[in-house]
Amino acid sequence: MTQVDQLIRSLVMSNRPATTEEQHQVLVHVAQAPVSVYPVTINRWLRQALEARGVQVSSGKQPAVSVHLLKRIYFDGQWPIGTTVEQFTRDLHQAVQHPQVPLWTYRWLGEVCAGLLAPSHVRHVPHPEAFIFVAYSADHGTITTGFQASGPETIFTDAVAQLRRQR
C-alpha cells in the first residue's frame, strides 16, 4: 500500500478533514493511478445485453476497465462508440486534474475509497451529464470505475459509510 493509500485510509478511519497538502497528494496520486485491468467474468445477462446492442464479447474474462467502458458506451451513451481503453483512462485522469474538482473519502461496502467529481469534458455523446465521477480504491491502488453523473446526490446513497467531502 502506497503512502497516499495509507493517507486515504487514515482520513476515512479518523473521519478527519484533509489538509490542503493532503488533498493535493490524493489528487496527484489518483490522476496517475491505473484503472483496474483485473480480469473479470462477464455474466449471462450482461453478455446478453451487450449482444442485444451488437457487441460480441469473447467467452473468457475481460479486463475490468473494458467492461466499464462497454457499459458507458452501449448502456449509458456517455462515451462515444470507438473509445479505446487508453482514451477512457485519459478522460478519467483529465477529469481528476480539473482545478475545482471536489474530493470525497468514504467506505463503500468495506472498501476504502476516494471519489472525485469534475465537470465533464466528454460532451459529444448521446447522454452527456454535468460531471464525470471517478472512484479510486485505496485498498487496491486502482481507479475502480468512472461514469458521468448529474451530481453527488445521484451517487452517494445511505449505504456509503464515513462519507466526508474533503475539498
Q: Does 16 bind another protein (CB under 8 A)?
A: no
Shortest Å, Cβ 89 to another protein: 15
In 62-83, which positions are buried (b, 16+ CB within 10 angstroms) versus exposed (e)? bebbbbbbbbbbbeeebbeeeb
What is the footprint of another protein within residues 22-81 (CB under 8 A)? 36, 38-41, 43-46, 49, 64, 67-68, 71, 75-77
Q: Does 124 bind another protein (CB under 8 A)?
A: no
Shortest Å, Cβ 150 to another protein: 6
- Closer to another protein by CB, 54 or 99: give it: 54
Q: Does 164 bind another protein (CB under 8 A)?
A: no
Residues that bind another protein (CB under 8 A): 36, 38-41, 43-46, 49, 64, 67-68, 71, 75-77, 108-111, 126-127, 129, 135, 137, 139-140, 144-145, 147, 149-151, 153-160
